[in-house]
Structure 1
Amino acid sequence: MRWGVVTTVAEPPALLAAFVAHYAQLGAGAIRLYFDRPDPEAAALIAQVTGVEVIDADAAFYSEELGLRGKPAQLNRKQRFNADHAMRTMEVDWLLHVDADEFLAAEDFAAELAAQPPDVDSLHIANGERAWIAGQAPQTIFDGVLRWPVAGPRRRIRRILGAEVAEFTDRGFCGHLWGKSVTRTGRGLKLGLHKPRRDPPAHQVAAKAAKLCHFDGLTRRHWVAKLMRYAELGMYAEPKGPHRCRHAQVAHVKNAGSDPAAAFALHDMIRVIPEDVAEGWREAGLIEAMPCDPAGAARALFGDAVDLSPEAFDAVLSQKETRAPGDARLIADPS
């Protein structure tokens, strides 16, 4: 039973090294990264790992390999085209499609896949979201706890989270809580962002032993930079559907005059859990110790060649060339 993972990336080399090291350690037989923009440094760093393949997803790739009229503008479309290309061309039995900030936690993933009946096309893997405990300074970009959504009626959610946190999150999550999928190849399925696409629909069941750790915003500055960029580009303009909480976050920043200080304060309110609250949430199963260790996997594979400290990650963000006013290099972390 050979499984692989595919992602579309435009992240700093250290994060990609951790991604590759983590999935290699979990037993992925093939790891393919579609580079949304060229990054020779990152490609050279991860190319030494067995099973890793890098594809420069430039305009020529989309026109010559996929038959499109140039490179799609929207990230979601690029991700779908890339994942579908991977489904057709990667020599694996199952393929996991994730973002570069999503890390699988599983004891023996291959065994869980091998145990699936033949009629199962896909497994849905629920995701938690990383949060921090107040007063615990992170040493790496992967420190913190894994948070799970608050279930039940809105009244219960507001009581547990507090009215303000409930307003800016989806049951406690700042990003998505839709999970991701690992899907059998060779069955005519196309990979969506969260689940496979086909008519008739794929037979999908829930994974029992695997979970996904979503590191939405690797540092405070990284999260704020993304939020500021959303505001500058007019994204999440409508308060509807599954993006309601993102709209509330963006609207809050815009109403504050696009002041980064307001975004940092919002981050700390909705992503940092007070110490006196954390213990009760642990007992209620709303947070748990981080069940994966990408930093440890990166150290084991790359040694001192990869610096996963928040300071180093932010420094790389500051050096990036940008085309958007909300980029990280323009935003200083007041802490």
Structure 2
Amino acid sequence: MLRGSMRLARDEGIGKTPAGFLRGGEVMDRWGVVALADEPAALIAAFVAHHLDLGADEVHVCLDRPNPEARDLLAGVPGAVLHDAGDDGWAFSNGYRPAKHLGRQKYHASRMLAETKLDWLVHCDADEFVLPTAGESVAEVLSAVRHGASWVKIAVAERTHLDDLPAADIFSGVFRRPWAGFNARGGVIYDDAALALLNKGLCGHNLGKCAVRSGRGLFIGVHRPMREWSGGGRDVSYDGTAKLELLHYDGLTELHYALKMMRRALNAMAKNPPSHAPQRQLQFEAMAGAAHNARALHAQWLAAKVIDAKQARVLEREGVLARFDPQIAARTARVVGAVDLTPAGFDRALLAHEAALFARAAQTFGFDPAPLVAA
């Protein structure tokens, strides 16, 4: 049960502030980002740098476990705020750490919304990157939201790989949007293996994330705000889908995707496992079942994550494929400095960061990550 102190802070308007800075003679709203993260330091640095370079005043990363390397990379970067999970003593949950990852996401996002002095807070994951798509800045998009609306939806565009070509960095690729016509017309583009793994044409979620206005007594869930900590009161007034995209890197590399599926398969074995869409459940069940077979794992990667040029052209005609150039590596270099964002470098860091998880997957499923590591 959330303590009343968070609710009191919200009701008294703490975090409510006049609109922020001047741009082109107009006063613009100030915005920030919050994420719960347990990723290699390079990804956290890129996530922070990208959003700061887009104009975020603050990027709050709540580290689900200590990450000294991420702290070193971001030390002294204005606007980068790293928190150790529980550094507030879990004050708003009576001192108890939420057991589930989704619960900790909600906790940290809601806590930051209660405390912020910014006008808006975007909640997303560390593998999700906001991008304006209509020639306006994020601040301009949010400043244009009608005052009566307390949030806007940020629609998802999921990164996929074109022709499984070698990538210059972990952010290369094209982007698939949710496809309303997938069930009716997906068979024109995809074979049976891919059709079984995709939900509305995506591997991961198709719900998007949100930007929430501060000072209105709200809590932030995984995908949208609500008036009640328990999850009730989801009918919060909003202004539709913003002119922003949420670039979702659901698996930065082939190894990263495989490990995500192994983690979900392990979680499914626990008491009260998280629920997933049938297609997502099939992804992690199939990968865990074939964990000892590198060829089968690669075949699933191709089915779920890779399209060819002909498929890309058809998806473009359907209006569900985009070729964004978010320049994440360049933004990272500009804000943070030299960071290894190559697939090989990321996989090396992932093997070290997730050594215990790799060991569990090996012991439980016979998973051998070596054939999937980027060269």
> Who is 2:56 aligned against?
28
Letter of the structure 1 residue corresponding to residue 349 of structure 2:
V
Give the SS at the match of 1:87: helix
2:369 maps to what in 1? 331
Partner of 2:352: 319
TM-score (norm 1): 0.91
> Do the aligned partners of 1:220 and 1:267 also contact (CA within 8 Å) in 2?
yes
Q: Is the 8 A contact 2:131 2:246 kept in 1?
A: yes
Say yes or no: does 1:89 pair with 2:124. no
Query: How much has 1:66 moved relative to structure 2?
Result: 2.9
Name 2:3's counterpart in structure 1. none
Deviations along 1:116-172, whole A, 9 cap, x unmatched?
Answer: 111111001100100001152111000000112222262322333333211111022
Query: Structure 1 CA distance, aligned partners of 2:275 and 2:246?
Result: 23
- Structure 1 unaligned spans of 5+: none
Are the structure 2 counterparts of residues 135 and 258 from structure 1 closer, same or farther at C-alpha, using a change threshold of 3 Å?
Answer: closer
Distance 1:154 1:284, change over 3 A: closer
Q: Report the TM-score when normalising by structure 2.
A: 0.82
**Distance (Å, rounded) in 1 between the aligned partners of 2:341 and 2:182:** 39
Q: Relative to 1, partners in 2 of residues 1:257 and 1:83: Cα closer, same or farther, differing over 3 Å?
A: closer
In structure 2, relative to structure 1, the CA distance for the partners of 1:297 and 1:200 (3 Å cut) is: closer
The answer to whether the Cα contact below 8 Å between 2:225 and 2:234 also exists between their aligned partners in 1 is no
* Alignment match, 1:246: 280
More off after superposition, 155-164 vs 255-264: 255-264
Which 4+ runs in 1 deviate beyond 4 A?
235-238
Q: Given the alignment of the two structures, is residue 170 of structure 1 paired with residue 190 of structure 2, yes or no?
A: no
Instruction: Map 1:1-335 to 2 at 5 A.
Output: 1-58=29-86, 61-63=88-90, 65-106=91-132, 107-152=136-181, 154-198=183-227, 199=233, 201-234=235-268, 243-256=277-290, 259-304=293-338, 306-320=339-353, 322-324=355-357, 325-326=360-361, 330-334=368-372
* Equivalenced residues, count: 330
What is the CA–CA distance in structure 2 between the aligned matches of 1:301 and 1:276, rounded to whole Å?
37
Whether the 8 Å contact between 1:94 and 1:183 is mirrored in structure 2 is: yes
Helix, strand or coil at the partner of 2:130: strand
Which string of whole-angstrom CA distances, capped at 9 and with x for unpartnered residues, describes residues 77-109 of structure 1? 111111111011121111100000000111311
- Which letter does structure 2 place at the counterpart of 1:217? G
User: What per-residue deviation string (whole Å, max 9, x for no partner) do you get for residues 183-202 of structure 1?
Assistant: 10110110000000113721
Change (3 A) 1:200 1:171: closer
Q: Quick one: distance in 1 between partners of 2:155 and 2:270?
A: 24
Question: Aligned in 2, Cα 1:221/1:21: closer, same or farther, shift over 3 Å?
Answer: same
Cα separation, 1, equivalents of 2:186 and 2:276: 16
Amino acid of the structure 1 residue aligned with 2:88? F
CA–CA distance in 2 between the matches of 1:109 and 1:321? 34
Q: Deviations over 1:177-223 (max 9, x none)?
A: 10000010110110000000113721012234211100000101100
CA RMSD of aligned residues (A): 2.4
Gap change, CA 1:42 and 1:255, over 3 Å in 2: closer
Residue 242 of structure 1: how far off its partner (Å): 5.6
State the AA in 2 paired with 1:223. Y
- Residues 291, 368 of structure 2: 8 Å contact kept: no
Return the alpha-carbon distance in structure 1 between the equivalents of residues 58 and 140 of structure 2.
17
Q: How far apart in 2 are the matches of 1:66 and 1:34?
A: 15
Structure 2 CA distance for partners of 1:104 and 1:185, relative to 1, 3 Å: same
1:235 shift after superposition: 5.9
Provide the rounded CA distance (Å) in 2 between the counterparts of 1:94 and 1:302. 24
In structure 2, the residue corresponding to 1:210 is in which secondary structure?
strand
Unaligned runs of 5+ residues in structure 2 are: 1-28, 228-232
Are 2:154 and 2:241, in contact at CA under 8 Å, matched by a contact in 1?
yes
Q: What is the identity, as a one-letter code, of the residue corresponding to 1:308? A: L
Moved more, 295-304 or 123-132: 295-304
- SS of corresponding position for 1:326: helix
Shift of 1:261: 3.8
Residue range with higher mean Cα deviation, 178-187 or 66-75: 66-75
SS in 2 for 1:172: coil
SS at match of 2:284: helix
